[in-house]
Structure 1
Amino acid sequence: MSASRIALVTGANQGLGRALVEGLAARLHPDDLVLLTGRNPQRVEDAAREVTQLPGTRARVEGRVLDVTDTAAVAALAKELESRYGGVDIVVSNAVARLLPEDSQAARADEFIDVSNTATHAVLRSFGPALRPGGRLLVVASSLGTLGHLDPRLHHLFESASLDQVEETVESWRRAIHNGTATEEGWPVWLNVPSKVAQVAAVRAVAAARREHDLATGTLVASVCPGMVDTATSRPWFSDYSHAQSPSQAAVAVLDLIFAERVDPALHGELVRFGRALPWHDGTPLVEQDRIVTP
């Protein structure tokens, strides 16, 4: 088993993921390793090289090609890290599918759900068991991930659900989109709301099952809301960017959570925004015309 810390970030070629890798590489020690992952081999290689060359970088940075929608590949990487290093200390699930306002939500549903939800489930299932005591397993979501943003008819599907039940609900939602019955069942047209709620529900399910052990070992499993971030993925959805953070600015609160000396029990399993848990039942269903990404 390696005494060095092992960190991994998905969706790390650019934007917030890239900023998180930079922050981890600056805060960790020279014997530690940060894995920068993404789907495009050239972008992964270029990004890892650029981070390595930054003046503030201390830890080792390696690029790894990982398609998070390939659940077998996610599982294989987790097993590799367990075999080679004895596990992993920091995992940030950050990958997201870029969706433009003019895109057909239904036409892009499979890709969006695969990247945001199927991948989240795979990361939780594969890296949860590989997380070493004192580790951090975080899923980047948004404040749209609180249950109140969904139609009340759907709340029971996510309330106190297991990970298996969340997965089945996500697949049921996917089928409803393809069958043309999603709207009558109460699902919003905008994919981002149920996707984020499902992400947070999945984290809550996994965290609940391991809470006692995690709190005894100083381990944190949570979802995080970084706030409004100026990225290529989010920019098309905003009309006012005056309060948006750069990816590097948005990464600070997430990094502070990762490097906190102790785990606040009130944050375990919760959706954390700027160091505070957002109440699970907060929010109101969004009007379909108001498709603005809420930080």
Structure 2
Amino acid sequence: MTSSRIALVTGANQGLGRALVEGLAARMDPEDLVLLTGRDPRRVADAAREVAQLPGTRSRVEGRVLDVTDTDAVARLADELTAQHGGVDVVISNAVARVLPDESQAARADEFIDVSNTATHALLRSFGPVLRPGGRLLVVASSLGTLGHLDPRLHHLFDGADLEQVEYAVESWRTAIHNRTSEEAGWPRWLNVPSKVAQVAAVRAVAAERRERDLAEGTLIASVCPGMVDTATSRPWFSDYSQAQSPARAAGPVLDLVLADHVDPALYGELVRFGKPLPWHDGTPLVEQDRLLTP
């Protein structure tokens, strides 16, 4: 058991995840521990060593191999950190599967859903209960995670749903993709839209059950939209990157949310972008992505 803070970031070998680890390591205290996680042992070890050696690093940094699609592995890590440290203080779910515009969305659906959604559910279930008072549990999503981006026929699957209902909706979507009935049912061809909506809905579901206690203890559970970030995952999808942020810049507002002294109740359980909540029911049709996916 220790009084030091424990932070964990998934999908942290590169891009935004790596920038979040660097920012936490620079802004947390020397006795604190930041865990950089990913699936590849060598990349995890290399990234953790590099961050630990950066001039601005103050806290301890360690690499941990974690396949977020392995729900048992997620649960074991939560148990391990609880046994060693009495829980965790910061969890940022950031892992995402890379899909290129010229790849079949349907062919990549299982991997994408497992990394973005099954993993989010596992992290919420395993780390939510061991989040210490005053902690932060954030899921990196995007503004695509608002209901307005989804066909109205599908809104009831996510609006006001509990976590089990969100999981059921995700698996129904997966089945519809395999059965080639997804578009007929209203699911968009672009995987990122229903995936992000489901991520935000999952966070809202867990937060709804914990809100009163968490706010009393200064704990925050929320999803976050970092805005357009110049990374290898997102760059292929956009023709104009002139307004894109570097990973370090995009990490800034997320880190401000993590390290804030107080929790704004207006942000609790919401999708937060640059410190402000995005309306859950809003959203506008996508243009560029729809064009990219039109045969």
TM more than 0.5:
yes
What is the alpha-carbon distance in structure 1 between the residues aligned to residue 112 and residue 140 of structure 2? Answer: 15
In the other structure, the counterpart of 1:30 is: 30
After the TM superposition, which parts of structure 1 deviate over 6 Å for at least 4 consecutive aligned residues? none
Shift of 1:2: 1.2
1:72 aligned counterpart, secondary structure: helix
The answer to whether structure 1 residue 251 and structure 2 residue 258 are counterparts is no
TM-score by length of 1: 0.98
In the other structure, the counterpart of 1:232 is: 232
What is the alpha-carbon distance in structure 2 between the residues aligned to residue 89 and residue 289 of structure 1? Answer: 39
In the other structure, the counterpart of 2:45 is: 45
In the other structure, the counterpart of 2:143 is: 143
For 2:284, give the aligned amino acid: T
In the other structure, the counterpart of 1:205 is: 205
CA displacement 1:57-79 (0-9 Å, x = unmatched) = 00000000000000000000001
In the other structure, the counterpart of 2:260 is: 260
What is the alpha-carbon distance in structure 2 between the residues aligned to residue 173 and residue 85 of structure 1? Answer: 38
1:289 aligned counterpart, secondary structure: helix
Unpaired segments ≥5 residues, structure 1 = none
Number of matched pairs: 292
In the other structure, the counterpart of 2:13 is: 13
The answer to whether structure 1 residue 68 and structure 2 residue 68 are counterparts is yes
1:222 aligned counterpart, secondary structure: strand
Shift of 1:286: 3.1
What is the alpha-carbon distance in structure 2 between the residues aligned to residue 143 and residue 291 of structure 1? Answer: 19
Give yes or no for contact 1:33–1:59 (8 Å, CA) kept in 2.
yes
For 2:79, give the aligned amino acid: K
CA-based RMSD: 1.0
CA displacement 1:29-63 (0-9 Å, x = unmatched) = 11000000000000000000000000000000000
The answer to whether structure 1 residue 168 and structure 2 residue 168 are counterparts is yes
CA displacement 1:235-274 (0-9 Å, x = unmatched) = 0011111110000000000000001111000000000000
Percent same amino acid at aligned positions?
Answer: 80
TM-score by length of 2: 0.98
Give yes or no for contact 1:36–1:64 (8 Å, CA) kept in 2.
yes
In the other structure, the counterpart of 1:120 is: 120
What is the alpha-carbon distance in structure 2 between the residues aligned to residue 111 and residue 61 of structure 1? Answer: 29
For 2:51, give the aligned amino acid: V
In the other structure, the counterpart of 2:290 is: 289
Shift of 1:291: 5.0
